[in-house]
Amino acid sequence: MTGQQVFLIVLLFIVLALFAWGRWRHDVVALFALFCVVAAGLVPGDVALSGFGHPAVITVAAVLVISRALRHSGIVDLIATRLTAYTEHTFTHIAVLTGAVALASAFMNNVGALALLLPVAMTTAAYRDRSPALLLMPLAFGSLLGGMLTMIGTPPNVIIATYRADLLGEPFGMFDFTPVGGVIALVGIAYIALLGWRLIPLRKSQKNNNKRFEIGDYIMEVRATEKCKLIGKPLREIERLTRDEVTPVGVIRGKDRYMHPAPWRRINVDDLLIVKADPVDLKILIDEQKLELVASRAAKLKEVNVEDLRLIEATVIPDSPLEGRNTGFLRRSSGHSLSLIAIARQGKSIRTRLREQFFQAGDVLLLQGDADSLHDHLNNLSLAPLAERELNLDQTRRAGRALAIFGIALLVSVLGWLPTAVAFIGAILGFLLFNVLPLRELYRDIDWPVIVLLGAMISVGQALQDTGTTEIIVFSFLSVTEALPALAILALVMVMTMALTDIINNAATALVMAPIAVGIAQQLGVNPDAFLMGVAVAASCAFLTPIGHQSNTLVMGPGGYRFGDYWRMGLPLEILIIVVGVPMIALVWPL
């Protein structure tokens, strides 16, 4: 083993550890890896950035823009409005929503499809008097299953398709993933609708279906005014009056002096009480005890009611501009026309002022704003509303245009008249020309950290292959598994990929595992397409943790889930995918 190979193996382990640690964002870790291989002389400086022009990078960026256009056109909204009639029974409710998001995810970004159907799930859950916890994890998992259906369904598929082009001179086609991915998606949706949802743990706050949204309790602030009937009484009186539905978690007295919410502590005039409650329960306490609800520098609120106060509940989407920012940024970004009333963060106890909170992906926010501009602010800040949205008047016409333009681009790509990336660029120009997508929104949904990740890691992956480091990793793996048949080795490769994608970005997983999988197939003398397809399927199987994929993170707050809830439904699903996927891959792509 040469010094270069040792260096790259050590660097690969460091990079994977940094991905899993999560302290640095994945694009920063990728740039670090790129810098290291260039500084070590393993990649010439004049080609170090060539990965950013790779077809995989262009295609992923184009897919994200197309996803934005399809969302803006209202295609999925029109479909979603027709789903309510099929939600009478729990099985059909889950099956229809999960199937709809899977179909949408086959042709657009997973998170975009999920964000569109999230308010539909919340609204139909309230209409059918069911806990959204039964719907939202299946919805997130359905978006991942749907990504397996086509080449553009998820970045790993794009990466695998273009890697095959580099390897064999011809990429996987648009629907080459469908025979295997379609069967897996159907089996996965059937499992989720029949059994999987029964494995989701339901808690007290999730089971109470009399409330509009089952998101757990918010953290809010109320002030004890001079007229407050609680002055001089201990904090335990609040829990007694509300039957433990409103819980004090902190007291601010004087100039930001935090005090522990001991049950015996008596309430003084102008005390700021940090409480954990549902807005409806808190409204009753405010009215009866003459408390004052405090917003983030907003005017005094007299009613805690969505219609009267123009309140809206929304969840912070991963990579939203709000991530890591505070309420001051929220106000400035909205022109001081949007204020934070409350925040719900599952799995963590919040005991500090709202103004001191830094938003995280998955947080559920109770916001107040002007009805005319509220949804524009949500779009600008990448917040997913948890309420039913109004449809645009010209939606049907724009949806037809979008569908026609996208269909033409798909046809041109499938027939091989133009490369996929070029065909999709043409579709984007068509969206702009026919006013399906406003010019100001052209680049809004491009996930730049993922684009940087791909551009940087492509060059790192090339260094692994050029130095023979990939072969060293392959020989090490085969030395342990040499007695196993090829199908068992394929299953192990898929398990390894699943394990990685549960803790690191799925695109990074595909970039790391694709050359290793091909190397293993070549050493075994079997069809490398089968192993590439195994990596593609497994890279979409982030079902064990809320951090494995942005879709899982997005539903954590609205569903009231905890970190350890995902594996209960996700682990059997991953096992099922291995059991079904391996023989299907062998059937469609014979070894």
Q: Which helix (H) or strand (E) holds 16?
A: helix 3-21
Residue 507 near residue 542, CB atoms below 8 Å: no
Same fold, 216-294 and 310-385: yes
Give mean pLDDT, residues 1-14.
85
- Residue 99, both tokens: 């199937």
Residue among 59, 99, 34 at smallest CA distance from 451: 59
Choice between 156 and 166, residue whose per-residue pLDDT is larger: 156
**Virtual torsion, Cα 50, 53, 55, 58, nearest 10 deg:** 150
Least confident among 114-123, 128-137, 260-269: 114-123
> Which residues are 274's β-sheet partners?
221, 250
Q: What integer pLDDT is reported at residue 330 of this predicted model?
A: 84
DSSP-assigned letters across all residues of 357-372: ----TT-EEEEEE-TT
* Residue carrying structure tokens 């629907």: 175
Higher per-residue pLDDT: 19 or 91 = 91
- What pLDDT does residue 392 have? 42
The closest alpha carbon to 552, from 216, 319, 218, 317, belongs to 317
* Average pLDDT rounded to a whole number, residues 168-173: 85
The 10s digit of each residue's pLDDT in 262-313 is 888 899 988 888 888 776 677 778 878 888 877 654 443 333 333 434 667 7
Which pTM was predicted?
0.70
At 193, the pLDDT band (50, 70, 90 cuts) reads very high
Q: Taking the domains of the chain in order of start, what are their residue ranges?
A: 3-204+444-588, 216-294, 310-385
Q: How confident is the model at residue 505 (pLDDT cuts 50, 70, 90)?
A: confident
Contact 565, 200 (CB under 8 A): yes
Question: Would strands 311-316 and 291-294 be described as parallel, antiparallel, or unpaired?
Answer: unpaired
> Residue 396 pLDDT more than 80?
no
The total of other beta-carbon atoms located within 10 Å of residue 77's CB is 21
pLDDT digit string, tens, across residues 350-381: 656 677 778 888 888 878 776 667 777 887 88
Q: Which of 25-29, 331-335, 511-515, 579-583 has the lowest mean pLDDT?
A: 331-335
Q: What is the pLDDT of residue 47?
A: 83
Q: What is the pLDDT of residue 190?
A: 95
CATH number of 310-385: 3.30.70.1450
pLDDT in tens, 403-434: 899 889 988 888 888 888 899 899 999 999 98
Distance, CA of 553 to CA of 111 (rounded, Å): 10
Quick one: which of 420, 440, 442, 419 has its CA closest to 429? 442
Quote the percentage of the chain above a pLDDT of 70: 88
**pLDDT confidence of residue 99:** 93
Q: What top-level class would CATH report for the domain 216-294?
A: alpha beta
Query: Cα-flanking dihedrals φ and ψ of residue 102, to 5°?
Result: -65, -45
Sorting pLDDT into bands at 50, 70 and 90, what band is 56? confident
- What is the DSSP-derived secondary structure letter of residue 299? P
Residue count of the chain: 591
Whether the per-residue pLDDT at 79 is higher than 90: the answer is: no
Q: Give φ, ψ of 66 to 5 degrees.
A: -60, -40
Long-range contacts at 552-555 (CB < 8 A, ≥ 24 apart): 552/137, 552/140, 553/318, 553/361, 553/362, 554/111, 554/114, 554/115, 554/118, 554/140, 554/315, 554/317, 554/318, 554/361, 554/362, 554/384, 555/114, 555/118, 555/136, 555/137, 555/139, 555/140, 555/362
